[in-house]
């Protein structure tokens, strides 16, 4: 039965830790390889990352200067080059499989710092069970085998947070330099990783202001220098090559807070004026925040399969109200508050229908409190057989995850894959395909473009999403039906993909 926090020790890795990490890695590898092997269709964002990776050797500066940041496409490019040493990677799968492997590798690497974060916060026993739950949760697992940058981002975020937490718990200063490097390299994958540098600065300023300085004034100043230097080493060259330090969304956010002072300019058509605000702000900031909080709550619950949501809440409440002196409480409080603010800003200013994957960092860093919540629930139910009931509840939760975990990635869009196969077999290699989703042209290994209403003259084929066979879109040019398939593979249900030949 997992119990209290491990005793404070200077030993970084113990024998039991190696065993626990080996078990967790084996489980993650088995699940990850299965999901890659059974993938039907990659995520929509994966097309952009693969296209950036393809362009990296021919247009390096163009990819570096583009958005999103080039870190993840660069990792795909390196993985593709490595795979090319052993096999022919000229087909589209020669890019898809290396991209998925990068995500899986980063997921595996993330388990190590996450485990040690949990060990410092709640003890090795609870940390093991918590990370095992994270490994088996369907949505995080599927992201870790898809062409998405979330787990590479979490790896650098977890490695840097572990370095800060280790420095705080053990009184070390040099690990702040490692945290800075993690923050800087993570920034090149997702700019949100800059939060690591913020956590370090907050803690070090807190140390300087306290009467009894935990690290001493000299070592605290040294830690600040190492943290900033580590962050700037990768970020300064990137910002210089890109021509801007702040990402576009941050610049947009800064501009949005100045609307009240620029009302006169907005009347003259200024692009930053209030008349450019999305329609979703019409309800006001309070309503937007309430809607965003509801969506965040829903995304967290679905990601935890709801079965672990109650233990998660109970565990967090119990840990934060417990009268212990663990310094990690301060850092975790800052982390949770900062990430909720980031999610609110994203939902209210950029993406009202926010993807569930944006709550993954919050889940990954608070997963450690689920075992504590299960312990409390089992204790309330049965005081006599608390240990056995803990494992019963844990196994029930893991069992509920399995059916969705084993469901192939993209199975609900298998019609896209079939349409792509038809185009690959019937369209000329130089044919331009107008598509509603670029994954179709990617798998067809043809040049594709997204169309709105009118099909470009250069398109030889067009793919339309229809609700029934008789629906005929107005392409603005003569077209003939060539092939149709149900999107979800079930007849008379859902939507249908129809391929038209342009005449």
Please report the pLDDT score of residue 364 as a whole number.
Answer: 97
Q: How many Cα atoms within 13 Å fall on the side-chain side of residue 381? A: 14
Percent helix, strand and coil across the chain, each to the nearest 5: 65, 5, 30
H or E element at residue 119 = helix 93-122
Please report the pLDDT score of residue 490 as a whole number.
Answer: 66
Candidates 34, 346, 43, 347; CA nearest to 192 is 346
Please report the pLDDT score of residue 330 as a whole number.
Answer: 85
To the nearest 10 degrees (0 to 180), the angle between helices 309-321 and 285-303 is: 110
**Which alpha helices (DSSP H) does 243-384 contain, by range?**
248-256, 263-267, 285-303, 309-321, 328-349, 360-366, 369-381
Confirm if 159 and 182 have CB atoms less than 8 A apart.
yes
Q: pTM of this prediction? A: 0.89
Strand locations in 47-128 (E)? none
Q: Is residue 389 part of a domain?
A: no
Report pLDDT digits (tens) over 443-486: 999 999 998 767 878 899 999 888 766 667 777 678 888 998 98
Candidates 96, 95, 57, 52; CA nearest to 72 is 52
Please report the pLDDT score of residue 384 as a whole number.
Answer: 59
* Number of domains into which the chain is organized: 2
- Give the Cα separation of 419 and 423 in Å (integer): 6
Please report the pLDDT score of residue 324 as a whole number.
Answer: 61
Confirm if 247 and 193 have CB atoms less than 8 A apart.
no
Q: Is residue 217 part of a domain?
A: no
Q: Is residue 359 part of a domain?
A: no
Please report the pLDDT score of residue 503 as a whole number.
Answer: 74
H or E element at residue 485 = strand 479-486
Q: Is residue 432 part of a domain?
A: yes
Please report the pLDDT score of residue 350 as a whole number.
Answer: 76
Q: Is residue 291 part of a domain?
A: no
Please tell me what DSSP assigns to residue 211.
S
Residues in the chain with pLDDT values less than 70 = 1-11, 211-214, 256-284, 324-326, 383-387, 453, 468-471, 476, 489-493
Please tell me what DSSP assigns to residue 494.
S
Q: Is residue 302 part of a domain?
A: no
Q: How many Cα atoms within 13 Å fall on the side-chain side of residue 335? A: 23
Number of H helices, E strands in the chain: 21, 5
- Give the Cα separation of 285 and 280 in Å (integer): 10
Cα radius of gyration rounded to whole Å, the chain: 25
For 161, the 3-state DSSP assignment is helix
Please report the pLDDT score of residue 11 as a whole number.
Answer: 65
Confirm if 373 and 156 have CB atoms less than 8 A apart.
no
Q: Is residue 435 part of a domain?
A: yes
Q: How many Cα atoms within 13 Å fall on the side-chain side of residue 273? A: 10
For 127, the 3-state DSSP assignment is helix
> For residue 218, what are the CA distances in angstroms to 180, 204, 329?
19, 11, 25
447-450: strand order across its sheet: 447-450, 432-435, 459-466, 496-502, 479-486
- Give the Cα separation of 385 and 394 in Å (integer): 14
Please tell me what DSSP assigns to residue 269.
T
Please report the pLDDT score of residue 207 as a whole number.
Answer: 80
CA angle 44, 46, 48 (to 5 degrees): 95
Q: Is residue 427 part of a domain?
A: yes
Please report the pLDDT score of residue 212 as a whole number.
Answer: 63
Please tell me what DSSP assigns to residue 15.
H
Domain extent, residue 269, equals 248-277
């Amino acid at each position: 039965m997992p119990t209290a926090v491990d005793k404070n020790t200077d030993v970084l890795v113990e024998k039991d830790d190696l065993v626990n990490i080996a078990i967790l890695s084996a489980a993650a590898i088995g699940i990850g390889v299965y999901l890659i092997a059974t993938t039907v269709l990659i995520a929509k964002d994966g097309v952009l990352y693969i296209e950036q990776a393809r362009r990296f050797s021919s247009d390096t500066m163009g990819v570096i200067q583009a958005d999103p940041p080039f870190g993840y496409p660069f990792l795909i490019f390196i993985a593709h080059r490595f795979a090319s040493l052993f096999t022919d990677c000229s087909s589209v799968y020669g890019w898809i499989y290396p991209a998925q492997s990068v995500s899986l590798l980063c997921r595996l690497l993330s388990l190590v710092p996450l485990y040690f974060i949990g060990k410092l916060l709640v003890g090795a026993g609870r940390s093991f069970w918590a990370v095992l739950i994270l490994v088996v949760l369907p949505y995080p697992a599927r992201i870790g085998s898809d062409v998405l940058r979330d787990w590479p981002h979490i790896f650098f975020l977890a490695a840097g947070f572990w370095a800060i937490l280790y420095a705080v718990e053990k009184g070390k200063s040099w690990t702040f330099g490692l945290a800075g490097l993690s923050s800087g390299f993570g920034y090149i994958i997702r700019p949100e990783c800059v939060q690591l540098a913020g956590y370090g600065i907050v803690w070090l300023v807190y140390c300087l202001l306290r009467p009894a300085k935990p690290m001493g004034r000299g070592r605290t100043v040294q830690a600040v220098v190492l943290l900033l230097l580590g962050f700037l080493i990768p970020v300064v060259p990137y910002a210089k090559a890109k021509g801007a330090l702040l990402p576009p969304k941050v610049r947009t956010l800064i501009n949005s807070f100045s609307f009240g002072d620029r009302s006169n300019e907005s009347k003259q058509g200024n692009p930053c004026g209030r008349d450019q605000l999305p329609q979703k702000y019409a309800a006001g900031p309070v309503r937007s925040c309430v809607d965003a909080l509801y969506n965040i709550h829903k995304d967290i619950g679905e990601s935890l399969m709801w079965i672990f949501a109650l233990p998660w809440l109970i565990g967090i409440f119990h840990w934060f109200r417990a009268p212990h002196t663990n310094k990690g409480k301060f850092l975790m409080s800052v982390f949770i508050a900062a990430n909720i603010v980031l999610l609110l800003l994203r939902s209210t200013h950029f993406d009202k229908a926010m993807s569930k994957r944006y709550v993954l960092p919050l889940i990954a860093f608070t997963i450690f409190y689920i075992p504590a919540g299960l312990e409390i629930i089992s204790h309330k139910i049965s005081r006599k057989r608390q240990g056995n009931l803990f494992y019963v509840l844990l196994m029930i939760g893991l069992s509920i995850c399995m059916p969705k975990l084993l469901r192939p990635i993209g199975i609900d869009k298998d019609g896209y894959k079939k349409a792509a196969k038809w185009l690959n077999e019937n369209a000329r290699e130089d044919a331009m395909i107008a598509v509603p989703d670029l994954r179709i042209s990617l798998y067809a290994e043809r040049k594709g473009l997204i169309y709105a209403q009118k099909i470009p003259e250069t398109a030889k084929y067009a793919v339309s999403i229809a609700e029934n066979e008789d629906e005929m879109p107005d392409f603005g040019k003569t077209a003939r039906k060539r092939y149709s398939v149900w999107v979800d593979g079930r007849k008379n249900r859902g939507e249908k993909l129809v391929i038209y030949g342009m005449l």
